[in-house]
């Protein structure tokens, strides 16, 4: 049994049978008012034919965020190339299609991301998916709404993308930044010990979302004091001055709401050690890769503890690599992308998960239209996507909630992360 088709549920077969029954009976939503049994097929949206569907992805493929940006693309590319090689995907309308992905480099620049979306429209894509970044996805959200083009399973924790009233053509993939920040705050507030917290945050929706969630969780907690907050611009290339400033507080907890720009994450770790400040760290899930950030810094073991959150399995874990799905994932990455060995960024796994969610929508959408696709995408409930944490499922039916919403707090153990229930 092919590793990607094994998860298809019986409901897909039932949907296909139902469609066939409708065709045979001569009844459909498009039946003419005269009741003569003739029906009109829905007019296909741009980017879909009887044999293919085309999606676009804009992501930072070059520049400081190129590592995470390429992973955000490569997981999906590997997934669908493997599916295409196996004959394609049978959609809910009974037609089998291959999935074509067009990739566009935005360099983590919002204006380039907007221009890329405009090019996608010119290129007649059906929709866009898996695009990485809060400011970059925000830059073309309104344009996608105006053009009625799906902008879905975006790799940002910005909650606006899962708000159906504000973002009718969008859906987020990852847990919200507020939820991650809240998880850190709850852990700290429940520790039973007094803590002084210094906060560094990216001065945009990304950083502010983390801080918002954290403050919500520690509000009213007598044992937690936020002693200083310092922001930095997303375009910054160095935060040494901010780290030195925060170090002067002698806080025992450093809440670093920093996005996944390797030079900044590594530089902040090294600067803290250089000035003699060694608090416990809280890092976002996007910025805590052992292989990409913590180990290369050379100083991770100088801190009492480094915490992050996770909503999926880690490709670097032995259990992942030894599983059949893990082996298939790594083999597909090696065959269809430029990724070598085990990817150091979680975005490769996240986009693979997102691709499986996209397939789940494809196999239930009954018409080759964007409206039918969005209806199918927002009707997924209890889907056991690959690589979610134990007990995790995909549910897209709740307004305001992204496709992935479960997470746990984890502690760096020198090579990977281990789930924790209390502060060390």
Q: For residue range 159-188, what is the model confidence (pLDDT) as tens digits?
A: 999 999 999 999 999 999 999 999 999 999
Residues 185, 163 within the same domain: no
Residues 357, 301 within the same domain: no
d(CA 113, CA 381): 31
Which of helix, strand or coil describes residue 135? helix
The pLDDT, as a whole number, for residue 416 is 87
Residue 164: inside a domain: yes
Q: Which two tokens stand for residue 55?
A: 């999606």
Residue 20: inside a domain: yes
Residues 170, 181 within the same domain: no
Residue 423: inside a domain: no
Residues 115, 263 within the same domain: no
Structural domain total, the chain: 2
Mean pLDDT computed over every residue of the chain: 90
- Report, as ranges of residue numbers, the positions in the chain whose pLDDT lies below 50: 1-39
Q: Which two tokens stand for residue 154?
A: 């975006």
The pLDDT, as a whole number, for residue 12 is 36
From 310, 341, 373, the end of a domain falls on: 310
Residue 4: inside a domain: no
Q: Strand (E) positions, 237-283?
A: 253-257, 280-282
Tokens 């073991």 found at: 301
Residues 63, 18 within the same domain: yes
Residues 290, 357 within the same domain: no
**How much is the CA Rg of the chain, to the nearest whole Å?**
23
Residues 17, 164 within the same domain: yes
Question: What range does the domain containing 51 cover?
Answer: 10-175+317-398
Q: Give the CATH number for residue 34.
A: 3.40.50.2300
Q: Which two tokens stand for residue 150?
A: 């799906």
With contact defined as beta carbons under 8 Å apart, do 65 and 133 qualify? yes
Residues 38, 158 within the same domain: yes
Is the pTM higher than 0.85?
A: no
């Amino acid at each position: 049994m092919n590793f990607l088709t094994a998860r298809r549920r019986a409901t897909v077969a039932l949907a296909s049978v139902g469609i066939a029954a409708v065709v045979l009976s001569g009844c459909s939503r498009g039946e003419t008012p005269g009741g003569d049994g003739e029906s009109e097929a829905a007019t296909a949206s741009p980017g879909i034919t009887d044999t293919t569907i085309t999606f676009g992805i804009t992501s930072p493929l070059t520049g400081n965020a190129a590592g995470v940006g390429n992973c955000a693309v490569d997981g999906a590319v590997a997934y669908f190339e493997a599916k295409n090689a196996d004959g394609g995907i049978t959609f809910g309308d009974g037609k089998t299609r291959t999935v074509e992905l067009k990739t566009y480099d935005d360099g983590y620049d919002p204006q380039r991301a907007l221009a890329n979306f405009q090019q996608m429209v010119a290129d007649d894509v059906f929709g866009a998916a898996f695009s990485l970044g809060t400011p970059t996805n925000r830059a073309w959200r309104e344009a996608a709404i105006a053009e009625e083009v799906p902008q879905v399973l975006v790799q940002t924790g910005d909650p606006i993308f899962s708000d159906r009233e504000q973002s009718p053509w969008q859906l987020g993939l990852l847990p919200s930044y507020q939820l991650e920040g809240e998880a850190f705050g709850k852990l700290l507030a429940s520790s039973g010990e007094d803590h002084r917290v210094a906060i560094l945050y990216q001065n945009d929706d990304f950083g502010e979302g983390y801080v918002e969630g954290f403050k919500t969780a520690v509000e009213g907690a007598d044992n937690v004091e936020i002693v200083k907050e310092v922001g930095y611009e997303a375009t910054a290339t160095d935060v040494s001055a901010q780290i030195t400033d925060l170090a002067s507080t002698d806080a025992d907890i450093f809440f670093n709401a920093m996005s996944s720009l390797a030079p900044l994450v590594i530089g902040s770790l090294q600067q803290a050690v250089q000035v003699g400040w060694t608090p416990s760290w809280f890092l976002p899930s996007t910025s805590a890769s052992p292989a990409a950030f913590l180990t290369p810094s050379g100083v991770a073991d100088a801190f009492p503890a480094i915490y992050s959150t996770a909503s999926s399995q880690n490709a670097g874990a032995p259990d992942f690599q030894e599983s059949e799905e893990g082996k298939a994932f790594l083999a597909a990455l090696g065959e269809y992308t430029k990724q070598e060995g085990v990817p150091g960024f979680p975005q490769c796994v996240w986009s693979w998960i997102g691709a499986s969610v996209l397939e789940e929508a494809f196999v239930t959408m009954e018409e080759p239209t964007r409206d039918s696709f969005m209806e199918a995408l927002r009707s997924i409930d209890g889907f056991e996507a690959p690589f979610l944490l134990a007990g995790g499922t995909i549910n897209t039916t709740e307004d305001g909630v992204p496709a992935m919403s479960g997470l746990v707090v984890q502690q760096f153990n020198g090579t990977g992360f281990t789930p924790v229930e209390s502060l060390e």
